[in-house]
Amino acid sequence: DLSRHELTGLVDGVDVVMHLAAQAGVRGSFGSGFDTYLRNNVRATQRLLEASLTTSLRSFVYASSSSVYGDADVYPTSEDGERRPVSPYGMTKVATEELAGVYHRCFAVPTVGLRYFTVYGPRQRPDMAFTRFFSRAMAGAPIPLIGDGRQVRDFTYIDDIVEGTLAAAAGAAGGSVYNIGGGSPVELRDAIAMIEELVGHRVELDHCEGGPGEARRTGADTTRARAELGFAPRTTLADGLRAQCAWVEESMTDLRVHVAR
């Protein structure tokens, strides 16, 4: 646990740190849950940065989030856009970026921040939308839909996230920040229509009221990442959803076999 355990010597002899550990999710960051976000996002990052002072790193790549932008004024949003998060989670990611900046300026730690935009694909977290949508649709259960379904997300396939992260570790300048996004923002209701086509039937929607913390729209301007990292998302939403559908279906089959045994 980066927030509590002894980190002395953790990165000795290491060339590159990829700090992807975090407490994710916007809704859980309100109320009493905020303490967990402070510990796992802010304190853990500061302690890992401190531990990195004992070795000469080539790169310290860390995960930020599109949540730092909140409801932006301009779409697609560039890295120079104002950061005004609409959730405590987003605020902790802003704090993570600021901590990285402090250690870069004071100690020349070669920090590189990556603002990931709505990652999806095989092995996606079970609390995230597409995993829940596919698993419930395949089980014949209603899909929970928060709000009117017209919220726009720049969905980014996991393979593209990995490629962008590796490119940043290999060639990004210290102190930089990049958007890593899919480049094809779509409304959630359109993504649900694609899921219906993949599972082969219409799905019932269980409409829920939207809560605080959710930006109405996200969209990544990846001009900087293209120019400096050679990053360009290659996976269409259709292809990515097809791969995630196959993974969820296989996972559910494995679970049924396990339960039967």
Going residue by residue through the chain (261 aa), what tens digit of pLDDT does each one get? 999 999 999 999 999 999 999 999 999 999 999 999 999 999 999 999 999 999 999 999 999 999 999 999 999 999 999 999 999 999 999 999 999 999 999 999 999 999 999 999 999 999 899 999 999 999 999 998 888 899 999 999 999 999 999 999 999 999 999 999 998 899 999 999 999 999 999 999 998 887 789 899 999 999 999 999 999 999 999 999 999 999 999 998 765 554 444
Q: Catalytic site residue 62?
A: no
Among the listed residues 182, 180, 185, 176, the one whose alpha carbon sits nearest the alpha carbon of residue 164:
180
**Contact yes or no for 17/11 (Cβ under 8 A):** yes
On whether the CB atoms of residues 219 and 181 are closer than 8 A, the answer is: yes
User: Looking at the whole model, is its pTM more than 0.85?
Assistant: yes
- CB-based contact 108:174 (threshold 8 Å): yes
Per DSSP, what are the bridge partners of residue 153?
A: 186
Q: Which residues contact 93 (CB under 8 A, 6 or more apart)?
A: 22, 41, 64, 65, 67, 68, 85
Which long-range contacts link 194-199 to residues 24+ away (Cβ below 8 Å)?
Answer: 194/237, 194/238, 194/241, 195/130, 195/133, 195/134, 195/137, 195/241, 195/245, 196/137, 198/134, 198/241, 198/242, 198/245, 199/134, 199/137, 199/138, 199/245
Residue 62: how many other CB atoms lie within 10 Å: 24
Q: Which of 37, 89, 103, 120 is catalytic?
A: 89
